[in-house]
Amino acid sequence: MPLDRRTLLKRSAITAGTVAGTAAVAAPLVLGGPARSGRDYDVAKSLLVDRVVRTTCSANCTGSCGMLAFVRDGVIVKVQQAADYPDTVYNPRGCMKGLSYLNHVYGEDRIAKPMIRSGERGSGEFREVSWEEALDRIADGFKRIGATWGWDSIHVFGQVPGTGYIQKGANYRAAALLGMIHGTSFDFNGDLPMGMPITFGVQNAEHEAKDWANSRLLLLLGSNPVETRIPDVHFIFDALERGARMVVVDPVFSQTAAKADSWLQIAPGTDAALGLALCRQIVVDRMVDADFMRTYTDGPLLVRTDTGKRLREKDLVAGGAVDAFLAWDLKAGRPQVARTDLLGFPAGVEPALLGTYRVSLADGSSVVATPGYALVAAELERWTPERAAKITSVPADRIVALARAFAGTKPAAILMGGASNHWYHGDLTGRVFALLSALTGNIGRSGGGFSVYVGQYKVRVDVSPWWNAGGKMAKICPSIYFVRGRTETMHPDVPYPKQGWHGLFCSFANLFVQSMDVNRLHKTLAGLDLIVVVDHQKTETVKWADVVLPATTWYEKTDLTATPLHPYLQLQQPAIEPVGEARSELWIWRELMRRIAPDLAAKYFEMTEEDAIRAILRAGGGPGGPTEGITLEQLRAGPVRLNVPDPDIPFVKQIKDRLPFPPRSLPAPLERTAAFIQTRRIEFYKEEDRFIQLGETIPTYKEPYDDRIHDPATYPLTLLTPHSKWRIHSSYANNAWLAEIHGGRPEVFIHPSDAETRGLVTGDPIEIFNTRGSIEAWAHVANDQRPGAITLYQGWWPRQFRKGKGVNELTSSAVNPIHEIHYVGNMWAPSTGWKDCRCEVRKAGKAPRA
Amino acid sequence: MPDHKVSPIEALPPASRAYGEIGPRSDKPRWGLVIDQERCIGCWSCAVICKSENDVPLGGWWNRILTDGDALDQPRSERGGLEMDWLPLACLHCENAPCVKVCPVGATYYRDDGLVMMDNDRCIGCRYCMIACPYGVRTFNWGRPERPTPHETGMVEARPVGTVEKCTMCVHRLAEDQVPSCVWSCPAQARVFGDLNHPTGRLATLARQSKVLLEGLGTKPSVTYLPPRRKREL
């Protein structure tokens, strides 16, 4: 241990400096207190409580952590992890944020009563009103909007469903009944890894966290589990203790990089270039799992060199099938149909992966065709380690070393995070690393796989009996089109309102802080007739509302939750009476429906949370269904593992039984997502027109998009806005306990070289700006940064910045037309590029804090 | 309000209670804690639950996580690269505790199980102990406690104002065979609690491999550290 006493005390002062400072100014010394009988601490026991209630902490963090609420005299006096998972490796599960939730159940920002705006919009001036008045106001307002512009002009926005299927489902159900348009979250948050639907035909699919422990090599790509997967990161340490190695690819020396065996400090947004060089090296080293590529991927399927489209049976014979694809059988010397109902090829067929073949067509002409893999391999040839090194700044010898380690270690897992996905071309990065995983045969294998962890998006159960009403499902429009209006390339199936947006119902979301390109969003807001916000904290979004409704926390209501990170279904159960006049979303919508459409309310909303949960359990409870054998009574006692394989890893059936891709992505019907990959195989070649037009038929690398908007000469810095360990997005930003630790004000971390050229030192007020906006925070000169990039952790509230403007004034709302080729909300939809953002900084003036 | 109140330990669901049990110990336990610095992720969960469990008011922390680096969660330059570790630090419950020696009124004392305790009714607020402690883990409660909640929280009574406070190793929990709350709540499973006198127990085994903080001072702490592992480059 290198520390001496002086250093130790100095570091104590650094980390808790603010704490000591606060204490020193406190009240004068008062001695005394009630007399006690000497050393009774020897026999002390815990103070008694009324009860202990098991619930689930489920912010939008993917944790979904079982918590116990300790209640004394009707108030919660402690929350602590339940640590009751039958699979005990998951215990205790839960982090410092969840443990400090008392700050939000009772803190000064808690909303206890309905409010109606009394000043200008955004002034934050409200008067407290009765529920009656608030509900009448909303019902009247929505009815007027419905009559004037159509119900579809009301946008219902709420964050990811996995955090609570019942209360979020109430929004979907109401939207389905009234014809309001429900927004999206997974794509809107930029978390939808578009590489997954493009390649595998699924929304996303990841290994449950405990499977990390089975890996021999963990390649973390822009993934920072030490900060953002706190309940799960110990599985990585389990793997390391068993001798695995961890490689972290990140522009910043992240807290996960501090734990890694190897850290590759990559240039932001260039991950795909690294991945391509890794794949090329594996090809050069002849380490490719060719059998995997032939059996499970579109590698052997022939592509016409004249049109760039796949060769189909109908091309060869009149009346042939449109959806029958062909491979070149080397043995027979002719094309062979590849089945779409069973992967692989019949014995005796030897499908070619390389070469070009002349094929005779039905009309008597002929065409040259080549296997998809040959096209991929041709692209890879261009990606020498030296070329990738120039783009990524990762040295060529380290790229080669990583490729050899990855190919030579089985199983090897790729964990991709938001930092790599949150780019305009994040889909290409996903496709490239999916290719790396496939080339090495790691797909569908415990300890391996290509997993993207970001967002608690996953619908693990059949929610249709609750979310849908009378068989009708809510229409869903990507919320990016709410923020910026429609694009020219928007898919025709997107239900964009004919008369534009005129109302907003926002619940469980801090939209006006956590939307990209906030200044553009405010233009939409200006045209809205009514803004309703449901929340339990006085957020910036609340400030812009016309009507505010006080929501319950998960210590005050009943809900059902799940997450991608572990396969346990859990309840949220009320530990206390709602604080003030807070009410659940289900209660709110029942009351609104009674006012708007009493007949529909009577038919579809006169039910309890328990009724809804039972209906969901029943719907998925058939043989082999996800909730088979699971009862509400079991869930009341604790977590219940869904009926999924153990460990829960994707594509096992496809790999073991050679069943066609994709598995179903709930709640969409299978045929909707199967349309993404017509070959029913893992697709590395895409033939849709727009892929061809944009030169993205095969996984490749493209420069960050914002470089085209902001000239790097004028805006030389990339603005990285990662998730912070102190917050879940903007939740917990107002947590008094945590603020004592981290200091409570937004800092911009900047490399010493960038700070020096701009004359900045730690603590300086700093302006960050680009063409979209300008904000002010404080500089922190830090050697963990990369020259040319700065880090401002996302989620701070505008009121915490100098001048009261938050970071998302700077971020981009650009839409990638590739994401508009198909449309299934939250599954193939515009995924946003938060990190694809250039800026410049300078020392700010001495303006007073807003 | 129900009149009938119960121990929060007895009220635990069975699986939770089993999770927190201390496990095998000797006839005459001496409690110890080993903290694995490789597993520690600097998340402060142990510190936050400590604050909650013990109703430590705003401004006070019995347990803190030091960064072995340039600032909070910032690495240090070392061996031509960057490195960073965390060091969770609360009362180390020394066998040879400087704080006990300097207390003029005997308010700081040893329990039979080796834990160093504070008797806040005896404490006169002179703070000699805070100066004597080489680890800087004692805090002083200056005024009326301020909390983010309108009510008292946690599982122990508030201490008299104007006295010194520190980690008690959650003796109120040990009394009901439950590990300290920081051990329960560590999501990285970096904290192992147990009986140093139980020779074959996990704790004693780990303690033998662990390092002592400021060993040269001869304080003989009951809390020791497993240092970070060596990294293996590509």
Residue A38 has pLDDT above 70, yes or no: no
Q: Which residues of B touch A782 (CB under 8 A)?
A: 70-71, 74
Computed over every residue of chain B, the mean pLDDT equals: 95
pLDDT attached to residue A28 = 32
pLDDT attached to residue A433 = 98
Say yes or no: ipTM exceeds 0.95.
Answer: yes
pLDDT attached to residue A25 = 32
Identity of the residue in A75, A96, A402 whose CB atom sits nearest the CB atom of B43:
A96
Q: Which of A565, A569, A512, A562 minimizes the C-alpha distance to A535?
A: A512
By C-alpha distance, the chain A residue nearest B122 is: A38
How far apart CA A727 and CA A795 sit, in angstroms, is 7
B218 CA to chain A: closest CA distance, Å? 13
Q: Which residues of B touch A2 (CB under 8 A)?
A: 68
pLDDT attached to residue A29 = 32
B213 CA to chain A: closest CA distance, Å? 7
By C-alpha distance, the chain B residue nearest A18 is: B59
pLDDT, tens digit, for every residue of A263-309? 999 999 999 999 999 999 999 999 999 999 999 999 999 999 999 99
Where do we find the tokens 């938001």? A418
Identity of the residue in B13, B51, B142 whose CB atom sits nearest the CB atom of A638:
B13
3-class DSSP state for residue A80?
A: strand
Q: How confident is the model at residue A711 (pLDDT cuts 50, 70, 90)?
A: very high
Residue A32 has pLDDT above 50, yes or no: no
Residue B69 has pLDDT above 70, yes or no: yes
Q: Are the beta carbons of B19 and A107 separated by less than 8 Å?
A: no
B72 CA to chain A: closest CA distance, Å? 5
3-class DSSP state for residue A500?
A: coil
Q: How confident is the model at residue A620 (pLDDT cuts 50, 70, 90)?
A: very high
- Tokens at A43, concatenated: 């026999």
- Tokens at B95, concatenated: 């066998």
How far apart CA A261 and CA A267 sit, in angstroms, is 19
Residue A30 has pLDDT above 80, yes or no: no
Q: Are the beta carbons of A19 and B60 separated by less than 8 Å?
A: yes
Residue A847 has pLDDT above 80, yes or no: no
How far apart CA A404 and CA A413 sit, in angstroms, is 14
pLDDT attached to residue B220 = 98
Contact A159, A803 (CB under 8 A): no
pLDDT, tens digit, for every residue of A343-386? 999 999 999 999 999 999 999 999 999 999 999 999 999 999 99
Q: Which residues of B touch A100 (CB under 8 A)?
A: 48, 52
3-class DSSP state for residue B19?
A: helix
User: Between A and B, how many CB-CB pairs are < 8 A?
Assistant: 318
Q: Are the beta carbons of B119 and A41 separated by less than 8 Å?
A: yes
pLDDT attached to residue A27 = 32
pLDDT attached to residue A503 = 98
Q: Is the peptide bond before A667 cis (omega within 30 degrees of 0)?
A: yes
Q: What average pLDDT score do residues A605-634 get?
A: 96
A236, A237, A402, best to mutate vs chain B, most B CBs in 10 Å: A237
Rounded to the nearest 5 degrees, what angle is found at the Cα of A722, between the Cα atoms of A769 and A772? 25
A218, A224, A255, best to mutate vs chain B, most B CBs in 10 Å: A255
Letter string b/e over residues B108-144, b meaning 16 or more CB atoms within 10 A of that residue's CB: bbebebbbbbbbbbbbebeebbbebbbbbbbbbbbbe
Q: Which residues contact A581 (CB under 8 A, 6 or more apart)?
A: A112, A113, A114, A131, A550
Q: Is the pTM of this model over 0.80?
A: yes
pLDDT attached to residue A3 = 67
B124 CA to chain A: closest CA distance, Å? 7
Q: What average pLDDT score do residues B154-175 get?
A: 95
Identity of the residue in A5, A78, A106 whose CB atom sits nearest the CB atom of B154:
A78
Contact A52, A70 (CB under 8 A): yes
Q: Which of A140, A387, A400, A119 minimizes the C-alpha distance to A264?
A: A400
Residue A43 has pLDDT above 90, yes or no: no
Q: Which of A477, A484, A478 minimizes the C-alpha distance to A518?
A: A484
pLDDT, tens digit, for every residue of A213-227? 999 999 999 999 999
By C-alpha distance, the chain A residue nearest B159 is: A33
Q: Which of A824, A516, A806 minimizes the C-alpha distance to A677?
A: A824
A245 CA to chain B: closest CA distance, Å? 7
Residue B170's alpha-carbon distances to A22, A51, A461, B42, B179, in angstroms, are 26, 20, 41, 21, 8
How far apart CA A494 and CA A491 sit, in angstroms, is 6
Residue A793 has pLDDT above 50, yes or no: yes
**3-class SS string, A773-826:** EEEEEEEEECCCCCCCEEECCCCCCHHHCECCCCHHHCCCCCCCHHHHCCCECC
What are the two backbone dihedrals, phi and then psi, of residue B141, each rounded to the nearest 5 degrees? -95, 105
How far apart CA A404 and CA A298 sit, in angstroms, is 25
Q: How confident is the model at residue A13 (pLDDT cuts 50, 70, 90)?
A: low
Residue A750 has pLDDT above 90, yes or no: yes
pLDDT attached to residue B97 = 97
How far apart CA A221 and CA A434 sit, in angstroms, is 12
By C-alpha distance, the chain B residue nearest A55 is: B13
Q: What kind and span of H or E run contains A376?
A: helix A372-381
Identity of the residue in B11, B61, B150 whose CB atom sits nearest the CB atom of A16:
B61
Q: How confident is the model at residue B202 (pLDDT cuts 50, 70, 90)?
A: very high
Give the torsion sign (CA, A320, A322, A325, A326): positive
How far apart CA A795 and CA A60 sit, in angstroms, is 12
Amino acid code (one letter) for B226: L
Q: Which residues contact A483 (CB under 8 A, 6 or more apart)?
A: A515, A516, A517, A520, A521, A524, A813
Q: Which residues of A touch B47 (CB under 8 A)?
A: 96, 741
Q: Which of B139, B129, B125, B132 minimizes the C-alpha distance to B90?
A: B139
By C-alpha distance, the chain B residue nearest A235 is: B188
How far apart CA A781 and CA A747 sit, in angstroms, is 10
pLDDT attached to residue A327 = 98
pLDDT attached to residue B158 = 87
Q: What average pLDDT score do residues A4-9 get?
A: 73
Q: Are the beta carbons of A47 and B157 separated by less than 8 Å?
A: yes
Where do we find the tokens 């939409």? A524
Q: What average pLDDT score do residues A724-728 get?
A: 97
By C-alpha distance, the chain B residue nearest A37 is: B121
Q: Which of A109, A822, A486, A607 minimizes the C-alpha distance to A615?
A: A607
**10 Å Cβ neighbour count for B103?**
22
